[in-house]
């Protein structure tokens, strides 16, 4: 219960990685704000957290809209005085070769993945600075370190998240606040399921063959589990992780060695 007394806000907390992070942080003692666009999903996660004996608050939040971010963080401040731990997990993925990537698709991915992360960081920092303590964990992607076909916009947004993480970490390095990123490979989530279905529709491959394409991208030949990302998230949120700052840590089975 090393996070007892801390408030953690998880964006995109209704399913997949976000849900696992919210539950893991609750088990570590934090009270949890579960935030996402789909109210029914975050209400269900909030019930799971309360069943663990921890307080939970479900808040609708669309990181692509500044007013939504400002309102959600105001509600957290009004109820619990602000958040000590922020997990920026909200994100989208879409595939298109660069020659066919529309302005609309590019803008949507950047608005949610990169600008949304910036907005939430900026909204969380005043409380952290006032308390002289904080943890920000940005869920990026292995695509933030290495490119791949058909994901130019997504890879660019995640490279941007890593640049934002590294620079912002320097801004707060003397304030007992750390900012780090986690870079997973393909995780067993709806996003990976969508990638599998795209491969099937484009190539006519079977589901097993399409899944194997993703599995072959790591030396471990598997998809990763949301709980693996949650484990690292809780570790980075720990008071004992004070010396880990401005880092981008991979969960990729050795696919990218940097």
Strand order in the sheet with 134-139: 56-60, 31-36, 7-11, 85-88, 134-139, 177-184, 248-251
pLDDT for res 106: 97
Sequence spans of domains, the chain = 7-185+225-251, 187-223
Q: Is 95 left (phi over 0), alpha (psi -120 to 50) or beta?
A: beta
- Predicted pLDDT at 252: 96
pLDDT the model gives residue 189: 86
Domain 7-185+225-251: CATH superfamily, name plus number: NAD(P)-binding Rossmann-like Domain (3.40.50.720)
Q: What is the pLDDT of residue 203?
A: 87
Q: What is the pLDDT of residue 47?
A: 98
| The predicted structure's pLDDT at residue 213 | 87
Q: Write down the pLDDT at residue 129.
A: 98
pLDDT of residue 198: 84
State residue 113's pLDDT score. Answer: 98
Query: Which pLDDT score, from 0 to 100, does residue 193 have?
Result: 87
- Confirm whether 186 is a catalytic residue: no
Whole-structure pTM value: 0.95
* Per-residue tokens: 222: 């598997």
Give the pLDDT of the chain (258 residues) as one tens digit per residue.
899 999 999 999 999 999 999 999 999 999 999 999 999 999 999 999 999 999 999 999 999 999 999 999 999 999 999 999 999 999 999 889 999 999 999 999 999 999 999 999 999 999 999 999 999 999 999 999 998 889 999 999 999 999 999 999 999 999 999 999 999 999 998 888 888 888 888 889 898 998 898 889 899 999 999 999 999 999 999 999 999 999 999 999 999 989
Q: Which of 150, 154, 186, 258 is catalytic?
A: 154
């Amino acid at each position: 219960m090393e996070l007892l007394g801390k408030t953690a806000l998880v964006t995109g907390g209704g399913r997949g990685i976000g849900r696992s992070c919210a539950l893991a942080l609750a088990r570590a003692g934090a009270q949890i704000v579960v935030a996402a666009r789909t109210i029914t999903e975050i209400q269900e996660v909030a019930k799971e957290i309360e069943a663990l004996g921890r307080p939970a608050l479900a808040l609708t939040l669309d990181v692509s809209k500044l007013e939504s971010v400002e309102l959600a963080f105001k509600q957290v401040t009004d109820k619990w005085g602000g958040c000590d731990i922020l997990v920026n997990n909200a994100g989208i993925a879409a595939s298109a070769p660069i020659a066919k990537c529309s302005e609309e698709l590019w803008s949507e991915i950047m608005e949610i993945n990169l600008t949304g992360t910036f907005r939430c960081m900026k909204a969380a920092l005043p409380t952290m600075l006032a308390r002289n303590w904080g943890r920000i964990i940005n869920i990026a992607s292995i695509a933030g370190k290495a490119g791949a076909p058909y994901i130019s916009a997504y890879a660019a947004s995640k490279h941007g998240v890593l640049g934002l993480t590294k620079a912002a970490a320097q801004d707060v390095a003397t304030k007992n606040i750390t900012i780090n990123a986690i870079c997973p490979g393909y995780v067993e989530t709806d996003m990976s399921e969508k990638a599998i279905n795209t491969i099937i529709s484009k190539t006519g491959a079977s589901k097993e063959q399409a899944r194997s394409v993703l599995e072959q991208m790591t030396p471990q030949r598997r998809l990763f589990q949301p709980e693996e990302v949650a484990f690292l998230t809780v570790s980075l949120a720990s008071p004992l992780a004070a010396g880990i700052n401005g880092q981008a840590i991979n969960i990729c089975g050795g696919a990218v060695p940097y």
